[in-house]
Amino acid sequence: ALVDDNVFTNLMARSNLSTAVDAVQRYPEQAAALGVSAEEATSWRLAADQTHIPYNDELGVHEQHAGFTRHEKWDFADTGSDQYPLLLHYPYFDLYRKQVVKQADLVLAMYKCGDLFSAEQKRRNFAYYEALTVRDSSLSACCQAIMAAEVGHMDLAYAYLGEAALMDLDDLENNTRDGLHIASLAGSWLALVAGFGGMRQKGATLTFAPRLPGRLNRLAFRVQTRGRCLRVEIDSSAVTYTLTAGEPLTIVHDGTRLTVSTTPSRPMPLSAHSPESAPEQPHGRRPAQRP
């Protein structure tokens, strides 16, 4: 069995193995040329099926790694702002035996492997890890923006979008002089498209569940997919889909299949959500609220 302590690594290995098996089945001649047999591909599938995903039944959350939720929680209240990033001030021996998270990890897994989690599990997991994630990495805010939007915390998602997009413009980490945070810049696109656009890829099909925070009244983007160029335009009440090039394309909007052509689709309602009180972040680590 393929077993790993890190949930994101774990789930991505499971997803990648399954994708590799599908590729062997779809392209048998190329697989044979590479010396990949059907028996070997079957063993990959067995490994993927036996991947371990830790879960705490008492708390109702998945674990960052096996046994993580049984660790003592980090003392955030007595950690000063000048002691971040934590890894520069505390030994790994101390960090790894406490409940503290450098960057969104399990949260990222819920985005990349979303079908493996229920909506309730996503909500509970997000709230639990939000209170433990200190964002000592510029890779974190964009992932938290995506999942905050999915579980309905739109203002929080907007705050994280601002952090990802302005990482260098506002020199938030005081190190832009050393070079741009390219992954964070790319992550701001993901926060917009996967977060507020709700875009996911399910096999060969693109799905959307768009919703906007109150501070945004319009979002438009284009996506190249399967030889077509799809334009998505969202305003405060509806979304339209249009192909700028290519044959008609079937997508899924908020659970409804929709065939899109070069004629704009009828306006489709935004994805509904029930706003809840946003979860708290570690003391002193709340993202800045932006206009």
Residue in the block written with tokens 């060969």: 204
Is the residue at 277 inside a domain? no
Question: So what's the pLDDT on residue 4?
Answer: 40
Distance separating alpha carbons of residues 116 and 114, to the nearest angstrom:
5
Q: Which of 22, 37, 53 is the last residue of a domain?
A: 53
Please check the confidence at residue 5 and state whether its pLDDT lies above 60.
Answer: no
Whether 107 contacts 157, CB under 8 Å: no
Question: So what's the pLDDT on residue 111?
Answer: 95
- Residue 228: CB atoms within 10 A of its CB come to 18
Please check the confidence at residue 1 and state whether its pLDDT lies above 80.
Answer: no
Task: Grade residue 12 by pLDDT with cuts at 50, 70 and 90.
Answer: low
Is the residue at 247 inside a domain? yes
My answer on whether 232 and 139 are in the same domain is: no
Question: So what's the pLDDT on residue 13?
Answer: 67
Please check the confidence at residue 257 and state whether its pLDDT lies above 70.
Answer: yes
My answer on whether 107 and 236 are in the same domain is: no
Q: What is the mean pLDDT of residues 124-132?
A: 97
Question: So what's the pLDDT on residue 187?
Answer: 95
Is the residue at 279 inside a domain? no
Q: Extract the runs of DSSP E, i.e. beta strands, from the chain.
A: 55-56, 61-62, 72-73, 98-99, 200-202, 205-208, 218-225, 228-235, 238-245, 249-253, 256-260, 268-269
Distance separating alpha carbons of residues 36 and 15, to the nearest angstrom:
19
Provide the CB-side half-sphere exposure for 26 (13 A, CA).
6
Give the count of domains, the chain. Answer: 3
Is the residue at 149 inside a domain? yes
My answer on whether 61 and 154 are in the same domain is: yes
Is the residue at 252 inside a domain? yes
CATH number at residue 190: 1.50.10.10
Q: Which of 148, 164, 195 is the last residue of a domain?
A: 195
- Tell me the two tokens of residue 95: 């960090």
Tell if the pTM clears 0.95, that is, is over it: no
Task: Grade residue 2 by pLDDT with cuts at 50, 70 and 90.
Answer: very low
My answer on whether 68 and 146 are in the same domain is: yes
Q: Which of 143, 163, 195 is the last residue of a domain?
A: 195
Q: From the DSSP assignment, how many helices (H) and strands (E) are in the chain?
A: 9, 12
Q: Which domain holds residue 44?
A: 1-53
Q: What is the dihedral of CA 176, 285, 91, 3, to 10 degrees?
A: -100
Task: Grade residue 264 by pLDDT with cuts at 50, 70 and 90.
Answer: very high
CATH number at residue 232: 2.60.420.10
My answer on whether 261 and 139 are in the same domain is: no
My answer on whether 176 and 216 are in the same domain is: no
Is the residue at 276 inside a domain? no
My answer on whether 234 and 247 are in the same domain is: yes
Tens-digit pLDDT profile for residues 166-217: 999 998 888 899 999 999 999 999 999 999 999 999 988 999 999 999 999 9
My answer on whether 187 and 58 are in the same domain is: yes
Is the residue at 282 inside a domain? no
My answer on whether 123 and 208 are in the same domain is: no
Is the residue at 8 inside a domain? yes
Q: What is the DSSP letter of 69?
A: G
